[in-house]
Structure 1
Amino acid sequence: DPAEAIERALWGAPQAIWGGEVVTNFAIDARLAKRLHANDARAERYGSSHWMLDLVLAPDFDEAAVAVLGRRPMRKLLANPALRAPAPSSAEHWRMIRGGWLSQPAADYVLDLAASRMAPGVLTQVQVLALCIAWAAAFGSSLGGNEIAIAHDGALLAAGGGPSTVEAARIALDRCMARGHDCRGAVFAADAFFPFDDVPAMLAEAGVAAGCAPTGSVNDAAVAAGLAERGVAMAWLPPEIRGFCRH
C-alpha cells in the first residue's frame, strides 16, 4: 500500500528526513500528498508536524497533490513516468582516479534468495521483504563502506558504514536505539562477507532474527555455525556477489 510505504519510510529516520528527498514508483494523489506533507504524531515527538521535504520525485502528481505539496514554497516536485517500472542500469561504470579511469561492472544485482544458501530454517514473507530493503540499502555502499543495514516490518530502521564492519554495525545499532526502534525480530544485510564472528555476535545480541551476507571468507563455516547456534536464519549469497560497489 503506497500510504503505508510512505509512513514507514518517513518514520524510519523521522529527524534525518527533515529537509530530505523522497522518490516513489507510484503516482501521488491528494491523500498521499498529505502523508508527505505533515503528520500530527511528529508534532508530539519533535515539535513540528511538517516533514519539510525539499524534493519529491514520482511518476506523476495530480492537481490536488500539487496544491498540498506546493504549500512549501521551495519544495521541488519532479514527475518522471519511467519510475513506474524502474530497472537498474546494466551499463559499465566508470570513475576517475588519479592518472586514469577505473572500470567495473554495473551494480545491478538484485537479491536472489533462490540462488542463496539458506540456513537454518525458512524466512517468512515479512522477513523476505525486510531483507530486500536492507540489502538495497547496504548494496549501494553509500555510507563509507562495510555497510550494515537493519530493517523490520517493511521499513529500513538504520544503516551504517565505516572503516570496519564492527564500526558500521555499531553505528547502525546506535542509530536504531536513538530513533526508538527495537531490533528484536529485525533482519540485517551486510555488503561483504564476515571475516570474524564479532559483528554477527553483536547483531544477534541486539535481537535480529535473520540476515544476508556474501560468502568468501576463510572463516565462513565458523561464522555460519555461530549464527545458527544463536538462532539467526541466514541467506548466504554466492561468493561472486559483493556489495561494496564504490570501493
Structure 2
Amino acid sequence: MIKTALISVFDKSGIVEMAEQLSDLGVKIISTGGTEKTLKQSGLDVINISDVTGFPECLDGRVKTLHPKIHAGILAMRDNKEHMEQLEKLNVDTIDMIIVNLYPFKQTISKEHVELEDAIENIDIGGPTMLRAAAKNYKDVVVIVDPQDYRKVLDEIKENGDVSEKTKFYLAFKVFNHTAAYDALISSYLKEQAGIEGYTDSVTITFEKVQDLRYGENPHQSAAFYKEPIAVKGSLPSAIQLHGKELSFNNINDANAAVECLKEFEDIACVAVKHANPCGVGVGDTAYSAYIKAYECDPVSIFGGIIAINDIVDKAAADEINKIFVEIVIAPDYTGEALEILKSKKNIRVMKLEDIKKKNTKSLDYKKVNGGLLIQNSDNGKINELKVVTNRKPTNEELKDLNFAWKVVKHLRSNAIALAKSGMTIGLGPGQTNRIWAAENAIRQAGEKTFGCVLASDAFFPFPDVVEAAAAAGITAIIQPGGSLKDDESIELCNKHNIAMVFTGMRHFKH
C-alpha cells in the first residue's frame, strides 16, 4: 500500500495530473523546490522536504534530499522487524514511492559554447541517490524515472490497490539503466574536457534508441537502431527522412558506408554503395555528372543500392536516378522538382542530411567480438607526402586520379583494389583473401577501360603479381603504401613497363 510519495522532477510533463490522482487516492506527497511550487500552484497539499528532515535546503539547493530521514524511509525493508523498529525509534516514516527525474545534463552540454561550470552544476547528485536507493528496495518502494510510466502505475493502483512486484522490478531496472547512461555521459564529457587521450582501464558507453527495426541483417535476427546521446552533425542519425518506408538494418549500415566515403571529397561527388562496399564513385561539376560517373562504374551492382551525393539533387540527377531501383538517396537537399520525381517511386527512401560533408575527426571505431570489444581511432589518416619510387613520375592527371582512387580504396573491405580514371572509379575489387584476386576482379570489371587508368591498393604488394596484372591491363600509375620485403621487385617491374608508382607510407585496412 502506497501511503507516502516523494516527488522531485526536472521534467514536469504530466506530474501535476500524476500528483493529483495520487492525492485523490490518499497518498501523502513530499516535494522539493520547483516541483513543490508547481504542485502547490495547482492547489495540491504538499509537504516540504525540510519539514520531513528538520533541516533546511542549503548550498543553493545542492543539499535537499541527502538526509537519513529520507534514505532510511526509502531503504527500510518492511518485512524486516529490526528495520521497522529502528524507524520507529528514530521517528522516521517510510516513503513508498519515489518519482524523480534528473537535472538536464545532456541538454546542457548539447548547447553551443557551454561553460564547464554550467555542465558541472547540472550533474544531479540527490536524484540518482534516491533513485538507486528506491530501486534497490524495489519490493517495498515504487520508483518512477520515466513520465511514460505514470499511467501504468496509476492503472495498477486503481485496479489492485498496489503496484505488482513484476512492475516494481521493471521500474527498478529502468532506474539503473537510466542512471548508468547518465553517468556514462558525464564520464565521457569530463574525459573530453580534461583532454584525456588514449584508452582508459575501463570504458562505459551509452546510446539512445532511435527505433526498433523490422529485423537485422536477415529476417530471423531481431534488431534496433541507436544513436549517440549528443547529436553528431553530418552523421546518419541526424538525417531527416523525406519519403519512403522505414529504414532496415542493412539500409542503415550501407547508408553509413556511403556517407563516410562521401566525406572524403570536397568536390561534388556521388558514392554508390552495395553491401557496405562502394560499387561506384564519381566526382563532377554537378550532381548529375557525378552520379553518371558513379553509375557507369558498375551499372549492375548499383541496382538496389544506396546513393549518396554531397550536393543539391536537381531534376536532371533525379531523372537519372529514377531510371533504376535504388533503396536510398541521401543528399544535403533537393530541388522541389527533384523531390517530386523521387517521391513518384513508392519504395525509395529519400533522406536529407544537411551537414553531409562535416567530418567527425574525434570519433572512435568500435568492433564487437564475442566476449569483448575492440576500440580504435577512426581511420582519419592523411598522407603527409607521396614518394615517387619509379623512374617515371605520374603526370598531373594521373596524380589527380591516384589521390581520388586512394580515397575510395580506403572505404573498400580488405584486401582491396580500386581502379580510376578521369574522376571516376572504373573497377573495384573489395573483400578478397589475397590481393591479386582483388586486382583481377577490378580489372575484369573495368574491361577495356583499364588502358590509361590508375590503380590504388589499400596495403602493400607482398609479390609483384599485381604489377604484372596492371601492366597487362594497360594501367599506367599505381598508388600503394609500400613497405613490403619485395618492394624492389614491384618497382623494377613498374620501370620495365613504364608504370609510375608512388608510396603513401600508410595503409588502409578495413575489416
Q: Could you state the TM-score of these two structures normalised by the residue count of structure 1?
A: 0.84
Question: Aligned-pair distance for 1:222?
Answer: 2.2
Task: Give the root-mean-square deviation of aligned CA atoms.
Answer: 1.8
Structure-to-structure mapping, 1:144-155, within 5 angstroms: 145-155=414-424
Choose from 166, 170, 177 the match for 2:436: 166
The reply to whether residue 96 of structure 1 matches residue 368 of structure 2 is yes
d(CA) in 2 for partners of 1:120 and 1:60? 46
Question: Which digits, 9 at most, give the CA deviation of each residue in 1:155-194, with x for residues without a partner?
Answer: 11111131111111111112222xxx42000001001101
d(CA) in 2 for partners of 1:34 and 1:229? 47
Where 1:172 maps in the other structure, the secondary structure is helix
Question: Aligned-pair distance for 1:99?
Answer: 2.6
Question: Aligned-pair distance for 1:216?
Answer: 1.3
Where 1:174 maps in the other structure, the secondary structure is helix
Question: Which digits, 9 at most, give the CA deviation of each residue in 1:201-225, with x for residues without a partner?
Answer: 1111100011100011111122112
- CA contact 1:107–1:245 (8 Å) conserved in 2: no
d(CA) in 2 for partners of 1:6 and 1:201? 32
The reply to whether residue 75 of structure 1 matches residue 348 of structure 2 is yes
Letter in 1 for 2:340: A
d(CA) in 2 for partners of 1:120 and 1:76? 50
The reply to whether residue 116 of structure 1 matches residue 390 of structure 2 is no
* Unaligned residue ranges in structure 2 (runs of 5+): 1-284
Question: Could you say if the C-alpha distance between residues 123 and 88 of structure 1 is closer, same or farther in structure 2, counting changes exceeding 3 Å?
Answer: farther
- Which residue in 2 is equivalent to 1:47? none
Where 2:355 maps in the other structure, the secondary structure is helix
Choose from 199, 208, 213 the match for 2:466: 199
Question: Aligned-pair distance for 1:245?
Answer: 3.1
d(CA) in 2 for partners of 1:6 and 1:126? 21
Question: Which digits, 9 at most, give the CA deviation of each residue in 1:112-162, with x for residues without a partner?
Answer: 3x60102343433432332233222321242xx211111111111111131
d(CA) in 2 for partners of 1:86 and 1:207? 37
Letter in 1 for 2:363: A
The reply to whether residue 245 of structure 1 matches residue 510 of structure 2 is yes
d(CA) in 1 for partners of 2:436 and 2:335? 46
The reply to whether residue 208 of structure 1 matches residue 460 of structure 2 is no
- CA contact 1:9–1:156 (8 Å) conserved in 2: yes
d(CA) in 1 for partners of 2:362 and 2:507? 16
Question: Could you say if the C-alpha distance between residues 88 and 213 of structure 1 is closer, same or farther in structure 2, counting changes exceeding 3 Å?
Answer: farther
Question: Aligned-pair distance for 1:88?
Answer: 5.2
Which protein has greater RCO, CA pairs closer than 8 Å, 6+ apart? 1
Question: Aligned-pair distance for 1:89?
Answer: 3.7
- Which residue in 2 is equivalent to 1:40? none
Where 2:450 maps in the other structure, the secondary structure is coil
Higher mean C-alpha displacement, 19-28 vs 86-95 = 86-95
Choose from 80, 86, 89 the match for 2:358: 86
Question: Aligned-pair distance for 1:109?
Answer: 2.4
The reply to whether residue 224 of structure 1 matches residue 491 of structure 2 is yes
The reply to whether residue 34 of structure 1 matches residue 319 of structure 2 is yes
d(CA) in 2 for partners of 1:24 and 1:187? 24
d(CA) in 2 for partners of 1:54 and 1:12? 18
d(CA) in 2 for partners of 1:64 and 1:7? 19
* Unaligned residue ranges in structure 1 (runs of 5+): 38-49
The reply to whether residue 65 of structure 1 matches residue 338 of structure 2 is yes
d(CA) in 1 for partners of 2:333 and 2:391? 43
Q: Which has the larger radius of gyration?
A: 2
- Which residue in 1 is equivalent to 2:304? 19
d(CA) in 1 for partners of 2:481 and 2:345? 43
- CA contact 1:88–1:108 (8 Å) conserved in 2: no
Letter in 2 for 1:100: G
Letter in 2 for 1:33: A
- CA contact 2:392–2:495 (8 Å) conserved in 1: no
Higher mean C-alpha displacement, 3-12 vs 27-36 = 27-36
Question: Aligned-pair distance for 1:26?
Answer: 0.4
Where 2:307 maps in the other structure, the secondary structure is strand
Letter in 2 for 1:10: Y
Higher mean C-alpha displacement, 92-101 vs 208-217 = 92-101
> What percent identity do the matched residue pairs reach?
25
- CA contact 1:210–1:232 (8 Å) conserved in 2: yes
Question: Aligned-pair distance for 1:4?
Answer: 1.7
Letter in 1 for 2:376: Q
Question: Could you say if the C-alpha distance between residues 52 and 126 of structure 1 is closer, same or farther in structure 2, counting changes exceeding 3 Å?
Answer: farther
- CA contact 1:137–1:159 (8 Å) conserved in 2: no
d(CA) in 2 for partners of 1:80 and 1:220? 43
Question: Aligned-pair distance for 1:237?
Answer: 1.0
- CA contact 1:126–1:154 (8 Å) conserved in 2: no
d(CA) in 1 for partners of 2:305 and 2:403? 22
